[in-house]
């Protein structure tokens, strides 16, 4: 009787492993970007009311295809399926550039580490980490992410478009219209060039500005997020 019972347990285990494998195969994420795609987004690090220098060029040690050339752009052309679809996200970017980033922590290029709810912007005013995402260069109002920040997607797939991100560490009650929309002039210039003409390693003058245009239409995306209309403030703090 015991050998029969053991055989049944083994058989059940084999079936469960097979079903799990089939579920993973059946749920393959085919959303953009995929291997062969080449998108670009611009980003800004905004800390306690000041723009921080962009992350330096890491293209010489690019392991995944989601990297930067020190030009305030995120270059998104996946080399592996681990960073395609929903895997192409801010977490993958920060892992590639080897800086800490999650709901509670932001490591800056100069080595400073900011902690949500702990690191103060001014005495008695701790900052919290949020991500503001303009889903295209034509979007004027951002989506506001207060948690699951690593999963914020890099998923623009319309020709001649790109996305904008402000990764902000500010006091929790900062109004959304005080968060700068990244200057998109260089991004617009860049995505309009043929690949052979794109100045991959140049740091242009005049990009990475601090415009505050948050009026107009909401950006739309498939991300799960909290949207904030112009002039409204969010009430949930990160961390």
Q: Taking CA 40 as the corner, what is the angle to CA 152 and CA 37, rounded to the nearest 5 degrees?
A: 90
Residue 21 domain-assigned? no
Whole-number Å distance between alpha carbons of 145 and 162? 18
Q: Is residue 223 part of a domain?
A: yes
pLDDT value, residue 60: 84
Radius of gyration for the alpha carbons in the chain, expressed in angstroms and rounded: 21
Q: Is residue 90 part of a domain?
A: yes
Q: 185 phi and psi, to 5 degrees?
A: -60, -45
The Cβ of residue 192 has, within 10 Å, a number of other Cβ atoms equal to 10
4: in domain: no
pLDDT-above-90 percentage for the chain: 59
Task: List, in sequence order, every residue forming a beta bridge with 210; answer none if it has no partner.
Answer: 182
Half-sphere exposure of 205 (CA within 13 A, CB side): 0
Within a domain: residue 101?
yes
Domain enclosing residue 169, as ranges: 32-227
Comparing 110 with 239, which gets the higher pLDDT?
110
Lowest mean pLDDT, pick from 22-31, 87-96, 121-130, 206-215:
206-215
In a domain, 159, yes or no: yes
Q: Cα–Cα distance between 239 and 229 in angstroms, integer? A: 23
Are the beta carbons of 163 and 133 closer than 8 angstroms? Answer: yes
Using DSSP's 3-state secondary structure scheme, residue 171 falls into strand
- Total number of domains in the chain: 1
Distances (CA, A) of 135 to 11, 144, 153, 193: 48, 11, 10, 21
Domain assignment of residue 13, yes or no: no
How far is the C-alpha of 184 from the C-alpha of 207, rounded, in Å? 7
CA distance linking residue 192 with residue 233, whole number of Å: 35
Q: Determine how many CB atoms are found less than 10 A away from the CB of residue 88.
A: 28
Rounded to an integer, what distance in angstroms lies between the CA atom of residue 73 and that of residue 208? Answer: 9
Q: What is the secondary structure of 45-81 as a DSSP string?
A: EEETTEEEPPPPP-GGG-SSSEE--SSSEEEE--SSG
Cis amide bond preceding 33, omega within 30:
yes
Distance of CA 230 to the CA centre of its chain: 21
Task: Say which residue the tokens 């009311």 belong to.
Answer: 49
The pTM of the full predicted model, rounded to 2 decimals, is 0.73
211 token code pair: 């415009």
- pLDDT tens digits, one per residue of 91-150: 999 999 999 999 999 999 999 999 999 999 999 999 999 999 999 998 989 999 999 999
Per-residue pLDDT tens digits for 38-64: 899 999 999 999 999 999 998 888 899
The reply to whether 24 falls in a domain is no
């Amino acid at each position: 009787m015991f050998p029969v019972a053991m055989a049944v347990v083994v058989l059940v285990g084999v079936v469960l492993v097979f079903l799990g494998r089939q579920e993973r195969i059946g749920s393959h994420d085919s959303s953009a970007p995929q291997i062969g795609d080449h998108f670009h987004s611009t980003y800004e690090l905004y800390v306690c009311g000041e723009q921080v220098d962009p992350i330096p060029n890491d293209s010489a040690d690019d392991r995944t295809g989601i990297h930067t050339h020190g030009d305030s752009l995120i270059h998104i052309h996946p080399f592996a399926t681990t960073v395609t679809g929903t895997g192409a996200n801010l977490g993958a970017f920060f892992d590639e550039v080897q800086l800490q980033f999650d709901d509670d922590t932001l490591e800056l290029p100069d080595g400073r580490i900011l902690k949500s709810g702990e690191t103060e912007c001014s005495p008695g005013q701790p900052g919290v980490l949020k991500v503001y995402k303009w889903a295209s260069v034509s979007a004027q109002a951002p989506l506001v992410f207060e948690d699951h920040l690593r999963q914020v997607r890099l998923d623009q797939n319309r020709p001649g478009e790109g996305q904008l991100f402000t990764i902000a560490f500010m006091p929790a009650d900062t109004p959304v219209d005080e968060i700068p929309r990244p200057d998109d002039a260089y991004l617009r210039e860049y995505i309009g060039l043929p690949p052979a003409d794109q100045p991959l390693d140049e740091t242009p003058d005049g990009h990475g500005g601090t415009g505050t245009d948050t009026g107009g239409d909401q950006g739309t995306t498939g991300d799960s997020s909290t949207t904030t209309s112009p002039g409204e403030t969010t009430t949930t703090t990160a961390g």
